[in-house]
Amino acid sequence: MRIPARLAHPSVRTAGAALVVVLALSSAACQRHGVVSGGGTLSGTAGTIDVQCVDRSQVKIAGFNPAPGYTGEIVVGGDPSNEASVKFTNPNANDYTMIVRCVDSQASMHEIEIEDTTLRN
């Protein structure tokens, strides 16, 4: 039985509104985040990347650490997504892009070397 709002006690109207807000917030939070199911630190020539596997096949970059002389920039961080990447640059050496993925909660990496033609003699 529905009680008309004009007859309902103010505490009933407030509790009902609060319940609607809590339910809306709960469902919004669940839509963007899954369960962390694996990950780890992956090492490459120009640095390391800390990744999380979400829902077994999605990846998210949790952080990175460039090797000495390199700087890093997240190109695609994953929110989470199927693939994420970090580009490591060095003015005195070749640059590297590290692409990471998760398959069955196992993180893997593919490293692409970007030759710096200005370093040639």
**Over the stretch 6-46, which tens digit does the pLDDT of each residue have?**
555 555 455 554 444 433 333 333 445 688 888 899 999 99
* pLDDT given for residue 13 in this prediction: 52
* pLDDT given for residue 121 in this prediction: 60
Pairing of strands 84-89, 95-103: antiparallel
* pLDDT given for residue 10 in this prediction: 54
Element (H, E) at 24: helix 10-32
Calpha distance 113→89 (Å, rounded): 10
**Over the stretch 42-98, which tens digit does the pLDDT of each residue have?**
999 999 999 999 998 999 999 999 999 999 999 998 888 899 999 999 999 999 999
Q: Which residue(s) pair with 101 in the sheet?
A: 108
Q: How many CB atoms lie within 10 A of CB 98?
A: 26
Calpha distance 55→14 (Å, rounded): 37
